[in-house]
Amino acid sequence: MLTDSERQRLREALALERQRLLRNAQEGLSFAMNRERNVGRDSIDESTEEELFSTELRLRDREKWLLGKINSAIERLESGTIDECEECGEPIGAKRLLARPVTTLCIACKEEREKEEASTAQGARGGGFAPEPEESTLTPGTSDE
Ligand SMILES: [Zn+2]
């Protein structure tokens, strides 16, 4: 079970991450708008332009995906289920949660899933998205406080 101060730290970490994402999303939006104004500028090679734009779209997909994870983590926090592993129902552990507030798996299930994802990813090489490694969902540096 999480203590009140652990819950408080989790709440703050999630709120902070959500703010950061929303700010990024706004910057992405103004990037897209600037691009509209620049259409027709012949100094930019068309394929580079296209590439830039699809990178931007992908980033925003990733932000949306992350935002969904953060929002559901906040819901789980408020309903008191954030430290339950969605796979086996065992407690995830405060230390792991504080390092990765959006995680939904205990360390044992996480390792199990990573093995599965690694074998699936090899088969799906070259097409579409690679599975997102969970460890990169939050900014590095939260663990060395
Ligand atoms: Zn588990």
Is 18 in contact with 70 (CB distance < 8 Å)? Answer: yes
CATH number at residue 31: 1.20.120.910
CA of 92 to the centre of ligand 1 (A): 7
- pTM of the predicted protein model: 0.65
Between helices 46-79 and 4-38, what is the axis angle to 10°? 160
Name residues with Cβ closer than 5 Å to ligand 1, which is an ion.
85, 87-88, 106, 109
- Quickly tell me which residue has 């929303």 as its tokens: 22
In a domain? residue 135: no
Task: Tell me which H or E stretch contains 125.
Answer: none
CA 68 to centroid of ligand 1, rounded, Å: 21
Asked if residue 129 is part of any domain, the answer here is: no
Q: How many domains does the chain divide into? A: 1
Helix (H) or strand (E) holding 114: helix 107-123
- CA 33 / ligand 1 centre spacing (Å): 44
Kindly give the distance from the C-alpha atom of residue 11 to the centroid of ligand 1, in angstroms, as a whole number: 22
Give me the pLDDT at residue 94, please.
94
**DSSP string for 31-49:** HHHHHHHHTT-TTS-HHHH
Token pair belonging to 57: 């779209």
Report how far ligand 1's centroid is from the alpha carbon of 4 (Å). 23
pLDDT at 11 over 90: yes
**21 within domain boundaries:** yes
Q: Bridge partners of 84?
A: 91
Tell me the pLDDT tens digit for each residue of 103-115.
Answer: 999 999 999 999 9
pLDDT in tens, 111-139: 999 999 999 877 655 444 545 555 444 54
Specify whether the CB–CB gap between 92 and 64 falls below 8 A. no
**Is 139 contained in some domain?**
no
Task: Identify the domain containing residue 72 by its residue range.
Answer: 4-38+46-122
| Separation of CA 65 and ligand 1 centre (Å) | 22
Report how far ligand 1's centroid is from the alpha carbon of 133 (Å): 17
Q: What is the C-alpha to C-alpha distance for residues 128 and 53, in angstroms, rounded to an integer?
A: 17
Separation between Cα atoms, residue 90 and residue 74, nearest integer Å: 19
Q: Is residue 69 part of a domain?
A: yes
Residue with tokens 């259409």: 39
110: amino acid identity, one letter: K
